[in-house]
Amino acid sequence: MEYNFREIEKKWQQRWVEEKTYQVKEDETKQKYYVLNMFPYPSGAGLHVGHPLGYIASDIYARYKRLQGFNVLNPMGYDAYGLPAEQYAIQTGQHPAITTINNIDRYREQLDKIGFCFDWSREIRTCDPEYYHWTQWAFLKMFNSYYCNDEKQARPIEELIQAFEEVGTNGMNVACSEELSFTAEEWKAKSEKEKQEILMNYRIAYLGETMVNWCAQLGTVLANDEVIDGVSERGGFPVVQKKMRQWCLRVSAYSQRLLDGMDTIDWTDSLKETQRNWIGRSEGAEVQFKVKDSDIEFTIFTTRADTMFGVTFMVLAPESELVAQLTTAKQKDEVNAYLERTKKRTERERIVDRSVTGVFSGSYAINPFTGEAVPIWISDYVLAGYGTGAIMAVPAHDSRDYAFAKHFGLEIRPLVEGCDVSEESFDAKEGIVCNSPRPGVEPYCDLTLNGLTIKEAIEVTKKYVEENNLGRVKVNYRLRDATFSRQRYWGEPFPVYYKDGMPYVIDESCLPLELPEVDKFLPTETGEPPLGHATKWAWDTVNKCVVENEKIDNVTVFPLELNTMPGFAGSSAYYLRYMDPRNHKALVDKKIDEYWKSVDLYVGGTEHATGHLIYSRFWNKFLHDVGVSAVEEPFQKLVNQGMIQGRSNFVYRIKDTNKFVSLNLRDQYDTTPLHVDVNIVSNDILDLEAFKAWRPEYANAEFILEDGKYICGWAVEKMSKSMFNVVNPDMIVEKYGADTLRMYEMFLGPVEQSKPWDTNGIDGVYRFIKKFWSLFYDRNGNYIVTDEPATKEELKALHKLIKKVTGDIEQFSYNTSVSAFMICVNELFSLKCNKKEILNELVITLAPFAPHVCEELWDTLGHSTSVCDAQWPTYNEEYLVEDTINYTISFNGKARFNMEFPADETSEAIQSTVLADERSAKWMEGKSVVKVIVVPKKIVNIVVK
Ligand code: ANZ
């Protein structure tokens, strides 16, 4: 029988489905192992060869773990809500649900061809009401919870209400948007609406005023990365900063737990560092400043309390409420003009762009340490959402304050007299001048910092601030609450209706609240989100159902929320749902959750290092607090697969002609390189006929060939349609089979590394599989496997392989495994080994990599169950011990020939055998032996004269 991958792969893919080979059930008798891939967004373009890289790597691991006896969960699904389907809907009128389903079908077809061991019975789609039921449910829970800083966990909002009723805000240590203070009596006297407004300040899912990137023409809020140079990435429409009431998640409350959790998980240091920076813990002090000739006081946040004596001005963020209060009549016009100008800049631009802009407010603040009055400025280098949105500026020691002071001619006062405060003196990374602090010039306070290190001075000053009631010690986090609403159609609806302007959630028992149908996917004429087009989108609180908008009476029937949830809503807890995907009563059954616990191995791209991995960790911690998720950290080990770049090919057109010259002759002409579809190029040689057929303008193309061939140039670029370098896995599977594709993708290099796709080497992998096959079948297709016992050499080749591959898989070093397989098969081939004893184990070892061919040969070897359920072989060190040692024989240090000796041969015996060998005679002729040096297990050197 010949190696016919088409038949074999089809047969086994069918068999796996029929026999439910990859379905998994909870099994208390077995240890669990949960492997997860970041699920794909099914785009219209389908999969290219870069996409399956991570899936193949995790598939190998999942199969390996199963062979080791683990009960392995390896599910797959689709992140099915999202912008591209909706944009397509806007352009074509095609309902996004239809586009999404078509794309999913195409993805599935492509995935199925690669032979993954996914348990498809657990498939989820985020746009399925069955699924988003639980996304909405989590939102309800967050709405009905607050975060208690003392207990460090989310608690039911009823507890907070009860506390308000008993003691007001007295002694309260909870996460909030704004510090509020009221007594129990004051609370009780408030109206229902006022109470709801206050609670919003504490809920974990809350409606909050936040600055957003607003694009009026698109009618929606945009994420930072959708805005480039002040205009929308799509369409180039102006984007302004706007304060809007949006749903937010109080992610910031979990900052410390998100930091602490990182000590318990096995992620790369660089990924942990990225998360730590994102969370941005910063220890400092909040200090109170009085405004001169006014009762107004305001608070600043500083990490350098020791620099109080170097403060020469203050700066407010343009959005700060203080701006209106502190701008004097004289400065009003100038300030307003500045505010208008800065509105257009996104926060990221404000951080990255270091050009100096600002305006004087007209007011002065009093430095509480020196009593000195310093001017209060307004500038957008101070961010509204960080610290208190106000700073004390110390231009001698902070580079941004320095640039500002220079620009506006403000005083620069170093802490140490006479110290160098030129631009070059700033530490590039820290942006500060590193020198010791000094005491105040005219001591207004009795604080001495002389001789202290900066660190010590900060501590002493912080203590002083607290003791003198000038402020308090404060830990700040850069991590912001997440804005959670989008003015979009294709997303999860909020289970929320509005009564008297305040949001109320619908009953848990009424979920899911299904996305309504609309006839247009654009915002409404009055600027409402697309759900504003729905005619049946009101909540009947009596009958607990969705009813027509006409029935809205604001007594028992109310309008429903028109925003939808953002992309990360559905991807934040999907790993939990895979454990128990068809449960109608709960997100996941408690016992099942206890069994699978968390993901043991998570594989996905680095682009999710902050967004998804912060949100899902937050989400899981919240669910853990409300008793759902058994384990606090969702992803124990995380591997980021690298990107597969495209390898583009070029043809060279001679200018103003339709003539193309081959790569190495192009210097003789004036040419323009043009991308050519890599699918009509093989080993850099262009298929001329296919090229002519590729595009009408090339139908009459002429060629200048070298050695009868047209050789193309090449370059490594991003894999993209516009570069014509997209390689479709279906084509590779069609030509070489899935097993070759799988092994080749792994052979390209370490999983974590980015590398170019280069089809040139794929033949080698294909030949390897054929050679492997030839250990079972001879050229004439005869089955040649025997029951003869294996020789020591054969066992050695096999066990060397088992040892290497076991170690490699544990390290995700699959490329070196592929080489090891090649070496082993070559060795067995030259040993003419067709022994069952060896081949049985070889098939198991290769099965995670090339499951189809291994399943077939396993069957041929006479096994009645799947190779997936075999037992991973353990290597025997005994077989690896060398029996003989190959010595290099040198004369006067020059290697001349090699000789084999038993491993336990003595040096004396080696010496005499070497000297007696006839090959030695040639090198000793006419000379006498001065010395013989035997280096055990390596070399023999004979010194002659
Ligand atoms: C005085 C000072 C002197 C500062 C000095 C720094 C160096 P991290 O570490 O990131 O927390 N700051 C505070 N709030 C800010 C805001 N909303 N926008 C921009 N800058 C803000 O940085 C904290 C430091 O950044 C604070 O300490 C403050 O400047 C500034 F030699 O206060 B510092």
Check which CATH number belongs to the domain holding 461 and give it.
3.90.740.10
Pocket of ligand 1 contains residue 282 by CB under 6 Å: yes
- Are both 471 and 488 inside the same structural domain? no
Q: Which of 477, 492, 519 is the last residue of a domain?
A: 477
Residue predicted with more confidence, 12 or 720: 12
Q: Report yes or no on 553 lying in a domain.
A: no
CA of 413 relative to ligand 1 center, distance in Å: 17
Asked if residue 495 belongs to a domain, the reply is yes
So what's the pLDDT on residue 424? 64
Q: What is the 3-state secondary structure (H, E, C) of 465-506?
A: HHHCCCEEEEEEECCCCEECCECCCCCCECCEEEECCEEEEC
Distance 646 CA to ligand 1 centre (A): 44
Judge whether residue 496 has pLDDT over 60. Answer: yes
Residue 271 lies in a domain: no
Per-residue pLDDT reduced to its tens digit, 829-868:
999 999 999 999 999 999 999 999 999 999 999 999 999 9
CB 397 less than 6 A from any atom of ligand 1: yes
Q: Are residues 673 and 798 in the same domain?
A: no
Residue with the smallest CA separation from ligand 1 atom 14 is 387
Type of residue at 710: Y
Residue 438: pLDDT band (50, 70, 90) is: very low
The region of weakest confidence among 485-494, 551-560, 876-885 is 876-885
Q: What is the DSSP string of 19-40?
A: TTTT-----TTS-EEEEEEPPP
DSSP state letters, 715-729: EEE---GGGT----H
Ligand 1, closest atom to CA 431?
Answer: 7
Task: Report pLDDT for 425.
Answer: 62
Residue nearest (by alpha carbon) to ligand 1 atom 26: 302
Q: How confident is the model at residue 128 (pLDDT cuts 50, 70, 90)?
A: very high
- Determine the distance from the C-alpha atom of residue 119 to the mean position of all C-alpha atoms in its chain, rounded to a whole number: 23
Taking the centre of ligand 1 as the mean of its atom positions, its distance from the CA of residue 476, in whole angstroms, is: 11
Predicted confidence band of residue 118 (pLDDT cuts 50, 70, 90): very high
With a cut of 90, say whether residue 525 has pLDDT above it: no
Ligand 1, atom nearest to 393 Cα? 1
Question: For the chain, how many helices (H) and strands (E)?
Answer: 30, 36
Domain boundary among 458, 492, 527: 527
DSSP assignment of 87-114 equals HHHHHH---HHHHHHHHHHHHHHHHHTT
**All residues at 6 or more sequence positions from 78 whose CB lies less than 8 Å from its CB, including other chains:** 39, 40, 41, 42, 100, 104, 107, 123, 124, 125, 126
Whether residue 679 is contained in a domain is answered as: yes
**Per-residue pLDDT for 579 more than 70?**
yes
- The response to whether residue 461 sits with its C-beta less than 6 Å from ligand 1 reads no
At position 864, the amino acid (one-letter code) is S
Q: Whose C-alpha lies nearest to ligand 1, atom 9?
A: 282
Q: Is 154 in the pocket of ligand 1 (CB under 6 A)?
A: no
Q: Is residue 6 part of a domain?
A: no
> How many angstroms separate the alpha carbon of residue 570 from the centre of ligand 1?
36
* Ligand 1 pocket test target in 279, 286, 300, 301 with most atoms within 8 Å of CB: 301
Q: Locate tokens 């070196």: which residue?
A: 816
**Ligand 1 site, residue 304, Cβ cutoff 6 A:** yes
Q: How far is the CA of 172 from the centre of ligand 1 (A)?
A: 28
Instruction: Report the Cα 20 to chain-centroid distance in Å.
Output: 32
Q: Taking residues 108-123, report their average pLDDT.
A: 97
What amino acid occupies position 248? C
Count the neighbouring beta carbons within 10 Å of the beta carbon of residue 283: 11
pLDDT, tens only, 391-403: 999 998 888 999 9
Distance 438 CA to ligand 1 centre (A): 20
Is 80 exceeded by the pLDDT of residue 429? no
- 468 and 493 within one domain: no
Residue at 180: amino acid letter: L
Q: Is 316 in the pocket of ligand 1 (CB under 6 A)?
A: no
**CA contacts within 13 A on the Cβ side of 559:** 14
Does the pLDDT of residue 446 top 80, yes or no?
A: no
| Residue 567: inside a domain | no
Check whether 443 has a pLDDT greater than 50: no
CA distance 290 to 69: 69
More confident residue, 687 or 447: 687
pLDDT at 791: 94
Residue pointed to by tokens 């041929």:
860
Domain identity same for 70 and 152: no
Spatial neighbors of 424 by CB under 8 A, at least 6 apart, are none
Q: Does ligand 1 have an atom closer than 6 angstroms to the CB of 433?
A: no
According to DSSP H, which parts of 127-221 are helical? 129-143, 157-167, 184-189, 192-200
Does residue 806 register a pLDDT over 70?
yes
Residue 436's pLDDT is what?
A: 44
What is the rounded CA–CA span in Å between residue 913 and residue 291?
Answer: 99
Query: 32 labelled as ligand-binding?
Result: no
* 907-914: long-range pairs with CB below 8 Å, 24+: 907/934, 907/936, 910/934, 910/940, 911/940, 914/887, 914/889, 914/940, 914/942
Q: Encoding tokens for residue 721?
A: 């349609």
pLDDT tens digits for 335-385? 999 999 888 777 777 777 778 999 999 999 999 988 899 999 999 999 988
Report, as an integer, the average pLDDT of 918-945: 91
Mutate which of 319, 386, 478 for ligand 1? The one with the most ligand atoms within 8 Å of its CB, which is: 386
Mark whether 415 and 460 lie in a shared domain.
yes
Q: Is the CB of 307 under 6 A from ligand 1?
A: yes
As a 3-state breakdown, the chain gives helix, strand, coil percent values, each rounded to 5, of: 40, 20, 40
Token digits for 384?
A: 């509204």
* Same-domain pairing of 668 and 744: no
The percentage of residues in the chain with a pLDDT greater than 70, rounded to a whole number, is 96
Whose CA is closest to atom 12 on ligand 1?
A: 391
Instruction: Please tell me the total number of residues recorded for the chain in this structure.
Output: 945
Residue carrying the six token digits 């009795």:
446
Q: Is the beta carbon of 386 within 6 A of some atom in ligand 1? A: yes
Residues 439 and 302 in one domain: yes
Residues 6+ apart with CB under 8 A from 366: 289, 290, 291, 292, 372, 373
Give yes or no: residues 718 and 745 share one domain. Answer: no
Q: Are 617 and 634 in contact (CB under 8 A)?
A: yes
- Among 302, 356, 369, 476, the mutation site with the greatest number of ligand 1 atoms within 8 A of its Cβ is 302
C-alpha 473 – ligand 1 centre gap (Å) = 14
Is residue 93 over pLDDT 90? no
What's the mean per-residue pLDDT of the chain?
Answer: 92
Q: Examine residue 564 and state whether it is found in any structural domain, yes or no.
A: no
Q: Whose CA is nearest to atom 32 of ligand 1?
A: 302
State which ligand 1 atom lies nearest to the alpha carbon of 394: 3
Average pLDDT value for residue range 282-286: 95
What total number of domains does the chain contain? 6
Paired residues of 704 in beta bridges: 661
> What is the per-residue pLDDT across 736-767, written as a single tens digit (0 to 9) for each?
999 999 999 999 999 999 888 887 789 999 99
Range of the domain at 487: 139-259+482-527
pLDDT over 70 at 552, yes or no: yes
**695 and 623 assigned to the same domain:** no
632 shares a domain with 518: no
Q: Residue 665: which pLDDT band, with cuts at 50, 70 and 90?
A: very high
What is the CATH number for 933?
3.10.20.590
Confidence at residue 580, expressed as pLDDT on a 0 to 100 scale: 98
Interatomic CA distance for residues 487 and 535, integer angstroms? 17
CA contacts within 13 A on the Cβ side of 697: 5
Our CA dihedral for 603, 607, 608, 611, rounded to 10 degrees, sits at: 180
Ligand 1 atom closest to Cα of residue 384: 17
Given 691, 726, 761, the domain boundary residue is: 726
Same domain for 450 and 500, yes or no, is no
Whether residue 557 is contained in a domain is answered as no
Q: Using DSSP bridges, classify how beta strands 496-499 and 538-540 pair: parallel, antiparallel or unpaired.
A: unpaired
Predicted local distance difference test score (pLDDT) of residue 440: 40
If asked whether residues 802 and 847 sit together in one domain, one would say yes
Stretch 172-182: mean pLDDT: 93
* Cβ of 303 below 6 Å from ligand 1: yes
* pLDDT(432) > 70: no
pLDDT of residue 758: 81
Atom of ligand 1 nearest to the CA of 389: 17
Q: Residue 303 C-alpha to ligand 1 middle, in angstroms?
A: 6
Q: Can you give the pTM of this predicted structure?
A: 0.86
pLDDT tier for residue 225 given thresholds of 50, 70 and 90: low
